[in-house]
Amino acid sequence: MTDQTMTIRALDAAATAAEAYITGLDAAPVAATVSLADLRARLDIGLGDTGTAADEVITDLVAAVEGGITGSAGGRFFAWVIGGTLPSALAADWLAATWDQNAGLTACSPAASAVEEIAGKWLKDLLGLPAVASFALTSGCQMAHATCLAAARHRLLADRGWDVEADGLAGGPPIMVIANDQRHLSIDRALRLLGIGTKALLPVATGDDGRILLTAFDAALAAAGDRPVIVALNAADLNIGSCDDFATLIPRAKAAGAWVHIDGAFGLWAKASPRHRAVVDGVERADSWATDAHKWLNTPYDCGIAVVADAAAHRAAMTVSASYMPVDGYAREAVDWNPEWSRRARGFAVYAAMRELGRDGIAALVDRCCAHAATLAHGIAALPGTRLIGGPGLNQALISFGDATDAVIARINASGEAMFGATTWRGQRAMRVCVINWRTTDADIARAIAAVAAALD
């Protein structure tokens, strides 16, 4: 068998399995149906001394993971903020793997470099962010935070005469971070990775609507005094989809000399919707924004997006050069903007998703998910023994079934009809409702409400 034949056979096996997964999404249970122990037992067959034919490896893998692949690509997966995958984005991602392009350097793949450059330009335009801002396509919002906050760290300390890239943080001016008390923990972890540390965090109290309280915010800025300050705001918070009052908070923070960073993992996409963009009014005045393509743009995992208004700070924080790297003065070298060195060509899927939907299609996707989330949340809340305790805000809501919350979620998930996750919010156990998949239909929402009703029975 030739190398090519082997590859084609393996791809055919993968395509057959992919087709079965996609066509089976409506009928298959949404949550996993096998235990981790069973999966381990099936997969751990020992690493043999001799190899296995490529197509057989794929066929065996597909059989071994049966029941352990959730329906997260389907329309009734409402657990966590996990977007679907648009057809063109999925296909482009297959090609990214097939072409095996290293998108770190333009010389390795001029096509990956050009596609990413155009995708970045379109993204900034779509999200209403400054055209001159720099960007990076990272593994996710977590690394987008790390990238943006590395730029913030550079600018704040360089302005005080401290070269953090050369000298590190020890002995330098200590940075303070003022953040929404409902922030996602990826902000905290970015601070850990950057050596700023979580003790630098001053969480600011929020109201019942999840938005930072202005008096608490002003007090935090005053407490910072002359220290270099990063302000981290939510667009939107992961539980109830609430966005901070950017139009009020950002000018105040900037007047105090702070760098303003936005966790816009999913909520920043409201900017793409004429119907919903008012909730993120003023967000474009921040200094940096972290979001995800694998959430509301519905590209496959993984792809985060970091955008930085101060391109010089961004570049200073990330740039590298080595004698073996060819330099092309006209190229945008991803390695100068990204925390990774070698990296997947994520731009293909991002470019494809934006072309497939266009501006109107992306706005319609955001609008449809928000409408579905509201119908789902209110539909469940109308059932006996049920309370809507948060939202709906954008595409998020929180439902309580009282003391039975975890048990009810377990019954819904065991039914296979839909999948939800649990959380504790302001001291109460709750079921999270998140709709963020282009595949979700009216029928899916009705089926999910029926599944919750059955679980309550």
CA angle 360-367-393, nearest 5°?
145
How far is 132 from 309, CA to CA, in rounded Å? 7
Question: What's the one-letter identity of residue 274?
Answer: P
Backbone torsions φ then ψ of 245, nearest 5 degrees = -85, 80
Q: Return the number of the residue (188 or 310) whose C-beta is nearest ligand PLP.
A: 188
Token couple for 362: 């992306």
The distance of closest approach from Cβ of residue 135 to ligand PLP in the complex, given in angstroms and rounded to an integer, is 15
Instruction: Confirm if 389 and 414 have CB atoms less than 8 A apart.
Output: no
Q: How far apart are CA 3 and CA 17, in angstroms?
A: 21
CA distance 336 to 354: 24
- 395 contacts: CB under 8 Å, gap ≥ 6: 241, 266, 366, 369, 370, 372, 373, 434, 435, 436
Q: Is 74 or 304 the residue whose CB approaches ligand PLP more closely?
A: 304
Q: Which residue lies nearer to ligand PLP by CB, 164 or 268?
A: 268
The nearest distance, CB 10 to ligand PLP, in angstroms, is: 29
Spatial distance between the Cα atoms of 94 and 299, rounded to a whole number of angstroms: 12
Is it true that the peptide bond before 274 is cis, omega within 30 degrees of 0? no
User: What are residue 138's DSSP bridge partners?
Assistant: 304
In this chain, which residue has its C-beta nearest to ligand PLP?
Answer: 140
Choice between 103 and 148, CB closer to ligand PLP: 148
The first and second tokens of residue 192, run together, are 């850990």
Give the distance from CA 146 to its chain's centroid: 13
At 136, list the tokens: 């990076």
Phi/psi at 422 (5° precision): -115, 160
Shortest approach of ligand PLP to residue 141 CB, angstroms?
3
Positions touching ligand PLP (CB under 6 A) are 81, 140-142, 184, 186, 238, 263, 265, 292, 304
Cα–Cα nearest to 105, from 92, 89, 116, 121: 116
| Min dist. Cβ of residue 167 to ligand PLP (A) | 29
Alpha-carbon dihedral sign for residues 18, 266, 193, 147: positive
Cβ at position 249, least distance to ligand PLP in Å: 17
Of 138 and 386, nearer to ligand PLP (C-beta) is 138
CB of 45 to ligand PLP, least distance (A): 31
Closest CA to 286 of 330, 365, 342, 230: 230
Taken in order 235, 292, 396, 366, the sign of the CA dihedral is: positive
**How far is the C-alpha of 127 from the C-alpha of 110, rounded, in Å?**
26
C-beta of 362: minimal distance to ligand PLP in Å?
A: 18
Of the pair 120, 228, the CB lying nearest ligand PLP is at: 120
Q: Which is nearer to ligand PLP, 292 or 336 (CB)?
A: 292
The smaller minimum CB distance to ligand PLP, of residues 142 and 273, is found at 142
Nearest approach in angstroms of CB 184 to ligand PLP is 3
Least spacing, CB of residue 64 vs ligand PLP, in Å: 26
Q: Looking at beta carbons only, is 189 or 227 nearer to ligand PLP?
A: 189
Residue 450 CA to residue 453 CA, distance in Å, equals 5
8 A C-beta contact, residue 265 and residue 291? yes
> What is the closest distance, in whole angstroms, from the C-beta atom of residue 208 to ligand PLP in the complex?
19
77 vs 162, beta carbon nearer ligand PLP: 77
CB of 265 to ligand PLP, least distance (A): 3
- Torsion on CA atoms 182, 186, 189, 190, rounded to nearest 10: -110
Per-residue tokens: 370:
């928000």
Closer Cβ to ligand PLP, 103 or 238, answer by number: 238
